[in-house]
Amino acid sequence: MQPDDAMLGEASRWNGRMREQSPEGFKLDEQHAPHITLLQRFVAETDLPAVLGAVDQVRSKFDTSTIRMKATGLYHIPSGNIGLAGIVVEPSDELVALQQAMIEAVNPFVRQGGDGSAFVPDPTGAPFDPMLFKYVETFVPAQTGPKFNPHVTVGIAPLGWLGEREKEPFSSFDFGAKGVAVYQLGNFGTASKRLDDVK
Q: Is residue 177 part of a domain?
A: yes
Q: What pLDDT sits at residue 199?
A: 46
3 state SS of 8: helix
Give the residue ranges of the chain where pLDDT is below 70: 198-199
Domain hosting 111: range is 2-182
What CATH number is given to the structural domain containing 107?
3.90.1140
What string of H, E and C letters represents the secondary structure of 11-76?
A: HHHHHHHHHHHCCCCCCCCCCCECCECCCCCCECHHHHHHHHHHHHHHHCCCCHHHCEEEEEEEEE
How far is Cα 70 from Cα 87, in angstroms, rounded to an integer?
10
Q: Is residue 128 part of a domain?
A: yes
- At 69, the amino acid letter reads M
**198 inside domain:** no
Q: What angle do CA 60, 2, 151 make, to 5 degrees?
A: 120
The Cα 184–Cα 45 span in angstroms is 11
Q: Please check whether residue 188 lies inside any domain of the structure.
A: no
122: in domain: yes
**Domain membership flag for residue 195:** no
Q: Domain for residue 13, yes or no? A: yes
What is the tally of structural domains in the chain? 1
Asked whether the beta carbons of 185 and 116 are under 8 A apart, the reply is: no
From residue 186, how far is each of 39, 49, 95, 126, 159 by CA, in Å? 15, 20, 24, 11, 21
Note the pTM of the prediction, 2 decimals: 0.91
How far apart are the two ends of the chain, measured CA to CA in Å? 13
Instruction: Specify burial of residue 24 (Cβ count, 10 A radius: 0-12, 13-18, 19+).
Output: exposed
Residue 153 maps to a domain: yes
